[in-house]
Amino acid sequence: MDGMTANDLSHVVDADRAHVWHHLVQHKPFETGEPKIIVEGKGMRVWDQNGKEHIDAVSGGVWTVNVGYGRESIANAVRDQILKMNFFGGTTGSIPGALFAEKLMSKMPGMKRVYYANSGSEANEKAFKMVRQIAHKRYGGKKHKILYRDRDYHGSTLATMSAGGQDERNAQYGPFAPGFVRVPHCMEYRKHEQDGAPEENYGVWAANQIEEVILREGPDTVGALCLEPVTAGGGVITPPDGYWERVQEICDKYDILLHIDEVVCGVGRTGVWFGYQNYGIKPDFVTMAKGVASGYAAISCCVTSEKVFDLFKDDASDPMNYFRDISTFGGCTAGPAAAMENMRIIEDEDLLANTLVMGERMLANLQALAEKHPVIGDVRGKGLFCGAELVTDRKTKEPMDEKRVGAVVADCMQQGVIIGATNRSIPSRNNTLTFSPALIATADDIDEITEAVDRALGRVFG
Ligand code: PMP
């Protein structure tokens, strides 16, 4: 670790313990134990304060570092840009902002405009506000409701939590904003938990459940439907056949705007540029954040279709007819400069193709583990975005308890392999081990990760 002595690092740990409030952490154990500080990264690997090497199977913990660590060309692109012009906010544009928007749109046929912000939550809020403004402009405020799914997650702010389908995250933070309505999820493996779910054509049936909510609420009150293409934190839930086609039909039928949250799936994670492109969907909004610049800079985008954009300029004589919103750091140029280079790397290194091949390998390895370990009830995934759901009994599908799922994650960490598990706090829902390595993963990396999981499962459930 360049330039830092053991004493320096011990000071860092003390400063962290004394002053940093970590995300998602109960801090009591840190009073005696040690917080983990990630000090350095290169490619697929990171090193902690004790010099221990880990292979990172979760791209920076939260599905973000798609092109891996230590990319000099991204650092250079950001350095050059911020020395030339780091920031100008408000109504102006920037060179990297314009060029990245053009590049991004070349990957998203049918989409037209990029609105810059900083986080996934913020990008989603922008889309929600656009939906509300459209409702006011065109429908006297009536068509303002935003539908979201059980198990989906759209962010940590109060409005995005109002569209949050994971109750365990929301407990203790209400009351939430009005006008957000929950619709049922679509999860083949757990369809037995849904009354009336059929054996055949489950996908179409599940989409029809959304239509029932629309009819109950009144289609003239529903402005948008917001969905993750593959649900991430809710358990790596891939959609069954027929689902998305029917969802699209329903949105078209009732003139409901389709908002696809690509904060996790976006920019290559599923082996295509955007998750929705796997399913032939025509969105009105696409929001993205994590993989856009692989965590080298904070950037998010709310991308809209031309149809949506045009609604905000159709009557220029009305002084109120524009999107009256701002994001200060939407004017930072580091974000689009990093994003541009990030995208060039994915293209030049053919990382989408690698993601498809390595994703297949990851799924096959996990399926092989399922043959050996009966605690694996289901294996799911799309590209390098995979999950293995743990159950106590394959017949009843009783979810594995948080403690033992946590023990598997901890055992892997001990072995120097960082894997994830989706929100383990609610045993009935959060029992899925998650794997989302950088898109540069090699066959050896994938095997190293799943071999560690094999050993961990053997020790915890052996
Ligand atoms: N949408 C999805 C699908 C997410 O997984 C997340 C973050 N995990 C968000 C939105 C919110 O992104 P952020 O934390 O950058 O606000």
Q: What distance lies between CA 436 and its chain's CA centroid? A: 11
Residue 441 included in any domain: yes
Tell the residue number behind the tokens 């529903």, with chain if given.
Answer: 222
- Predicted confidence at residue 429, as pLDDT, reads 60
Which of 316, 348, 380 is a domain's end point?
A: 348
Range in 121-125, 165-169, 332-336, 452-456 the model is least confident about: 165-169
pLDDT for residue 315 = 79
Q: How many residues would you count in the chain?
A: 462
Confidence of residue 238 (pLDDT cuts 50, 70, 90): very high
Residue of 23, 121, 124, 157 best suited for mutating to test ligand 1, as the one with most atoms within 8 Å of CB: 121
Domains: count for the chain: 2
Ligand 1, atom 5, lies closest to the CA of 264
Domain hosting 419: range is 36-67+350-461
**Between the CA of residue 240 and those of 233, 250, 279, what are the distances in Å?**
18, 17, 10
Residue 7 within a domain? no
Q: Is the ipTM of this complex over 0.90?
A: yes
- Report d(CA 153, CA 162) in Å as an integer: 10
Asked if the structure places residue 12 within a domain, the reply is: no
User: Does the structure show a pLDDT above 50 at 377?
Assistant: yes
Q: What residue owns the CA closest to ligand 1's atom 1? A: 154
pLDDT of residue 331: 95
Instruction: Out of 90-94, 194-198, 386-390, 422-426, pick the least confident.
Output: 422-426
How many angstroms is it from 190 CA to the middle of ligand 1?
A: 24
Residue to mutate, 170, 290, 382, ligand 1, most ligand atoms under 8 Å from C-beta: 290
Residues 6+ apart with CB under 8 A from 146: 128, 131, 163, 179, 180, 181, 223, 224, 225, 226, 259
**What percent of the chain has a predicted confidence (pLDDT) above 70?**
98
Cα 142 to Cα 206: distance, rounded to the nearest angstrom: 26
Closest ligand 1 atom, CA of 290? 15
State how far the Cα of 8 lies from the Cα of 12, in Å rounded to an integer. Answer: 6
pTM value? 0.97
Residue 250 CA to ligand 1 center (angstroms) comes to 26
Q: Are residues 407 and 337 in the same domain?
A: no
Quote the CA–CA distance of 162 and 179 in Å, as a whole number. 9
Q: How many CB atoms lie within 10 A of CB 452?
A: 22
User: What's the CA dihedral at 353, 355, 361, 364 to 10 degrees?
Assistant: -110
% pLDDT > 90, the chain: 89
Q: Are 161 and 176 in contact (CB under 8 A)?
A: yes
Same domain for 368 and 265: no
pLDDT band at 389 (very low <50, low <70, confident <90, very high): very high
Residue 160 and residue 166 in contact, taking contact as beta carbons nearer than 8 Å = no
Say if residue 402's pLDDT is above 80.
Answer: yes
Q: Mean pLDDT, the chain, as a whole number? A: 95
Quick one: pLDDT band at residue 313, thresholds 50, 70, 90?
A: confident
Atom of ligand 1 nearest to the CA of 157: 16
Residues 237 and 252 in one domain: yes
End-to-end CA distance of the chain: 38
Which residues have C-beta atoms less than 6 Å from ligand 1? Answer: 62, 119-121, 124, 153-156, 228, 232-233, 261, 263-264, 289
Distance (Å) from CA 301 to ligand 1 centroid: 12
Residues 366 and 344 grouped into a single domain: no
40 to 2, 52, 53, 157, 215: CA distances (angstroms): 9, 10, 9, 30, 53
Are 244 and 277 in the same domain? yes
Distance, in Å, from the CA atom of 28 to the CA atom of 37, rounded to the nearest integer, reads 17
Within a domain: 31: no
- C-alpha 62/C-alpha 44 separation (Å) is 14
- Tell me the three state secondary structure of residue 405: helix
Q: Per the domain annotation, does 24 fall within a domain?
A: no
Residue 402 domain flag: yes
Check whether residue 331 and residue 363 sit in a common domain: no
- Say what the pLDDT of residue 425 is: 47
pLDDT tens digits for range 164-217: 999 888 989 999 999 999 999 999 999 999 999 999 999 999 999 999 999 999
The answer to whether 181 and 146 are in contact (CB under 8 A) is yes
pLDDT tens-digit map of 325-369: 999 999 999 999 999 999 999 999 999 999 999 999 999 999 999
In the predicted model, what is the mean pLDDT of residues 222-233?
A: 97
Q: Is the pLDDT of residue 319 over 80?
A: no
CATH number, domain of 225, equals 3.40.640.10
**Interval between CA 157 and ligand 1 midpoint (Å):** 10
Q: Of 259-268, 405-414, 424-433, which range is least confident?
A: 424-433
Taking Cα atoms as reference points, which of 225, 210, 220 lies closest to residue 147?
225
Query: How far is residue 214's CA from residue 223's CA, in Å, rounded to a whole number?
Result: 10
- DSSP element (H, E) containing 248: helix 243-254
Do residues 272 and 197 share a domain?
A: yes
Q: Which residues pair with 201 in a beta bridge?
A: none
Let me know whether 161 and 275 are in one domain. Answer: yes
Average pLDDT over residues 289-299: 98
- Short-list 87, 46, 214, CA closest to 143: 214
Q: Can you tell me the mean pLDDT for 16-22? A: 93
Q: Ligand 1 mean position to 155 CA, how many Å?
A: 5
Tell me if residue 233 falls in helix, strand or coil: coil
Determine the distance separating the centroid of ligand 1 and the alpha carbon of 1, expressed in angstroms: 31
Minimum-distance ligand 1 atom for the alpha carbon of 118: 15
Please report whether residue 295 resides in a domain: yes
Domain end position, chosen among 302, 324, 348: 348
CA distance 433 to 389: 6
In 3D space, the residue among 263, 248, 164, 264 whose CA is nearest the CA of residue 203 turns out to be 248
Statement to judge: residues 336 and 400 lie in one domain: no
Closest to 302 (Cα-Cα) out of 440, 116, 159, 119: 116
CATH of the domain at 377: 3.90.1150.10
429 in any annotated domain: yes
pLDDT tens per residue across span 33-48: 888 999 999 999 999 9
Report CA(409)–ligand 1 centroid distance (Å): 22
Which whole-number Å values give the CA distances from 162 to 128, 157, 420, in the listed order? Answer: 11, 8, 25
Which of 152, 153, 285 is the pocket-test mutation for ligand 1 (most atoms within 8 Å of CB)? 153
Mutate to test the pocket of ligand 1, among 154, 170, 185, 270 (most ligand atoms within 8 A of CB): 154
Q: Check pLDDT > 60 for residue 229.
A: yes
List, edge to edge, every strand of the sheet that includes 300-305.
111-117, 300-305, 285-288, 257-261, 222-227, 145-149, 180-183
Distance CA 459, CA 457 (A): 5
Query: Do 403 and 384 reside in the same domain of the chain?
Result: yes
- Region of 373 on the Ramachandran plot (φ > 0 left; ψ -120 to 50 alpha; else beta): beta
pLDDT band at 427 (very low <50, low <70, confident <90, very high): very low
Domain boundary among 348, 374, 393: 348
Gap from CA of 263 to ligand 1 centroid (Å): 6
Claim to verify: residue 314 and residue 450 sit in the same structural domain = no
Pair (264, 344) in one structural domain: yes
**Ligand 1 centroid from CA 162, angstroms:** 14
